[in-house]
Structure formats: structure tokens, C-alpha cells
Structure 1
Amino acid sequence: MVIVIGGMIGLGKTTVAEMLSEKLGSQVFYESVDDNPILPLFYTASQEEIEAKRYPFLLQLYFLNSRFKTIKDALRHPNNIIDRSIYEDWYFAKRNRDLGRISDLEFQMYENLLNNMLEELGDLPKKAPDLMIYLKGSFETVLKRIQLRGRSYELDESLITYYKFLWESYDDWVMHHYSASKVVTIDMDQYDVRNEADRVQVLKLITDALHS
């Protein structure tokens, strides 16, 4: 069983992945964040620096490369959990294209590379995940959880507009663009996985879905 965890920044993907790992005895493949040299630059650069140094495009290539390696490794083994996957990577690239942070030509290059990578997955014994767990929530909940997480480069007030832009179309991506597996949606307005009782409830929702 290969499970991917998706959803907006701050809603608890890593915590849910670790909960599932402990329950199912699975390995977690984490999103490359803390060791990512471009991410802090992406969040803190001025608009002039972004345009000159193309940090959004470089960041997407960095994530695409790391997520391609992750999903290849995960699909070679029977039980794994992925903290955000290559499928979701496209959504971030597209939204940055929509903002003008990634040019149309850069996005075309990105999509061509992504499509080639996805074709390569067809040669693996297991070709796609079995389930995606989509964590959704109100924008107020997203902001609150980002603030509680406390990564300094994520807390600048100027980023609020960017976060809202990402948040606005997430449901549309899940409903109309993601097709690799079955999806289970969990409303994180109702659950805070820092609390033991909520962790139990979230795990029950997921395990019920796995057994259905």
C-alpha cells in the first residue's frame, strides 16, 4: 500500500504521514524542505531578485527532481507513505505560472519534463499510489497552523496573499486534475493532529477508507 499525503502548507501532512507510518509499519518519504537551499530564497527574495534569479522556476525543478526520486523509490516497495508527491508538484508550478513568477516557456519546459518522468513510472512494477489523503481547511486555519509551525521564512506578512492564492484553487486541483488514485478528504478545520484525540479520529477515517 503506497499512500500520498497532499494539501495546503501547514495543515499537518508530515504529522499525518508519521502517524500512519507508526500504525502501518511503513517508511515515510519526506518532502525536501529543511535541506532545500532554494526555499528560503524563494520566500524572502524581492520581486526584482525573483525576476533576475528565477527562484520560482529553480525551486520547482528542485522539487520535481526530488519528488521523482521519491516516488520511484516508494513504488518499488510494498508499503510506503509520501509527504506530498510529484502529482501535486504540478499544482505549485501552475499557480506560480499564473502569478507570473514562472514564464510560459519555463512552465512548458517544466510540463515536458514532468510528463517524461511520469511515463518512466509506467515501467515500474507498481505504477501509481493506492490512495491520496487530501488535507483541506479554511484559509484561517491554514494561516493559524503556519504561524504555529514557526518557520521564520514562512511568517512574513507579505506572504499571506501568496498563501491565499495557493489555497483558492486547491480543491479544484484535487477534483479535476488529480487522477492517480482514490482520494480521501479530511477537513482539518475539525481536527488538529497535535491533539491525541484528534489523531485517533483522523487515523480511523484513513483506516476505514483503506478497508473500504
Structure 2
Amino acid sequence: MITIGAMIGAGKSSLAKLLGEHLGSEVFYESVDDNPILPLFYTATEEEIQKKRYPFLLQLYFLNTRFRSIKKALVHENNVLDRSIYEDWYFAKVNKELGRISDLEFQMYEGLLENMLEELEELPKKAPDLMIYLTGSFETILKRIQERGRGYELDESLVDYYRILWSGYDQWMETQYKASEVLKINIDQYDYVNNMDDQIEVLDRITKKLAEIRGK
């Protein structure tokens, strides 16, 4: 099982699609287009956020749908997950630090996450074999968010939120993520969506890393 981790807008879904086609495997995409809370999270005022608790509800929604994908993915070989369940904690932590998720809500969230990550008898494992982590400059992140054109993501008031998320993402990956081996792809260097040479090189790097892992 392969999972792709990255900041919002880095290109996870595009790489997941390419990788699924390359490996002939199923792809489990992050629940975005059918997510009833995500547009509310992005467009709500601070007063509405405090009253209706959209950040907490959004984290619960993502946690639930991601855990369902993990259970489906682990019954077959060679599946690709668009974002990992481990990253959900980072998003929850940032929103807690911003005062959008309360201490009690975060405590409840962490308890639920820990429970989900405990090994279940009917599942061989829940940890991925490889995390492909997309890293890059904040300018590239903003450019890609603008290019994909989801209306509720484009408000200028969200730029500070994106910057806060981006500023700690690499540190989270380097110091907190321990579930699997990691292959880093720099999105400033590789444009695997629009450049065929970059696409070939990225897929080749991933294929070689998977072969290395299988050989251990």
C-alpha cells in the first residue's frame, strides 16, 4: 500500500492517478468533491466557525472516510491512498493552535484516531509500505491551488491559513511520521502533470523505491 502525503494543493490527486495507472492499481481519493463540510469550513466566518464547530466536524469526517478507505485498500495488493490518516492529526493540531478546535475536541479526536490505528484482528496492517511526500515552496503551492480553481479555496483571506499549514508540514514529516519509509518529491523541481519527462522520472523513482522496499 502506498500513500501520498502533502500540503493542500501540492498535487496529491494528480500523482495518485498517474501512479494508479502506472501500477495498474486502485486509487482511493480523499473525499473532497462529495464532502458536505469542506466548503463550509473554507467560507465560514470566524463567528460561524466558533458556533458551528466546522473544523472539528471536518476532521471527524476526514478521519471516518479515510479509515474506511484504509480498510478497503488493505484487502488487496498495490493500492494507492490520496493522503494518509497520519496527516489528519497535523491538520487537527494546527486548527487547535488557531483556536478553531477546542482542547476537549482535540482530546476526543486524538482518542478516536489512536483507537482507529490500533491493529484490528481482521486486518493484516494499517500502516502503508511507502509514503510519497510532496514538498515544495509556498509559491508553488499557491500557484497550484489557483490553477485547480476550486472556488471556496481561492479567497485571499485563506492565504495566511495555507502559509501556517505549509510552514510546519515538512517538520511534521521529518519528526513525527514514523509509519513507513518515505520518498520525497520536490514539486518545484518536478511538474509531473504537464511535463512528460518529469512524469517519467518521478514514476521511475517511485518504482525503484518500491523495488528496494520489496527486496528488504
TM range (shorter): over 0.9
Q: Which residue does the alignment assign to 1:208?
A: 208
Partner Cα separation in structure 2 for residue 50 and residue 175 of structure 1: 31
TM-score after normalising by structure 1 = 0.97
After superposition, residues 56-135 of structure 1 pair within 5 angstroms as 56-121=55-120, 123-135=122-134
2:4, 2:132 within 8 Å by CA — same for their partners in 1? yes
1:208 shift after superposition: 1.6
1:9-28 per-residue CA deviation (whole Å, 9 max, x = no partner) reads 11111111111111111100
Percent identical residues = 69
**Partner letter of residue 186 of structure 1?**
I
State which drifts further: 77-86 or 123-132: 123-132
Q: What do residues 130-186 of structure 1 show as CA deviations (whole Å, max 9, x unaligned)?
A: 000000010000001100110000000000000000001111111111111100000
Q: Per-residue displacement from partner, 1:10-50 (whole Å, max 9, x unpaired)?
A: 11111111111111111000000000000000000000000
What letter corresponds to residue 175 of structure 2 in structure 1?
A: H
Match of 2:179 in 1: 180
Task: Specify the code of the residue in structure 2 equivalent to 1:6.
Answer: G
Long gaps (5+) in structure 2: none
**After TM superposition, what 4+ stretches of structure 1 lie above 2 angstroms from structure 2?**
120-123
SS of match in other structure, 2:86:
helix
Aligned partner of 2:56: which letter?
Answer: F
RMSD between aligned residues: 1.1
Aligned residue number for residue 25 of structure 2: 26
- Specify the alignment match of 1:6 in structure 2: 5
Asked if 1 retains the 8 angstrom alpha-carbon contact of 2:119 and 2:126, the reply is: no
Give aligned pairs, total: 211
Give the SS at the match of 1:26: coil
Contact 1:133 1:185 in 2 (8 A): yes
CA offset at residue 122 of structure 1?
A: 6.2
2:78 partner amino acid: N
Q: Tell me the secondary structure at the aligned position of residue 102 of structure 1.
A: coil
* Aligned 8 A contact 1:75 1:128 in 2: no
Contact 1:138–1:189 at 8 Å: present in 2 too?
A: yes
Give deviations 1:39-93, integer Å, cap 9, x for gaps. Answer: 0000000000000000000000000000111111111211100000211111111
TM-score normalised by the chain length of structure 2: 0.95
* Secondary structure of residue in 2 paired with 1:61: helix
Cα offset, 1:127, TM superposition: 3.6
In 1: Cα distance, 2:193 partner to 2:3 partner: 20
Consecutive unaligned residues of structure 1, counting only runs of 5 or more, are: none
Residue 137 of structure 2 corresponds to: 138
Contact 2:2 / 2:131 at 8 angstroms: preserved in 1?
yes
Letter in 1 for 2:197: A
Deviation at 1:197, TM superposition (A): 1.9
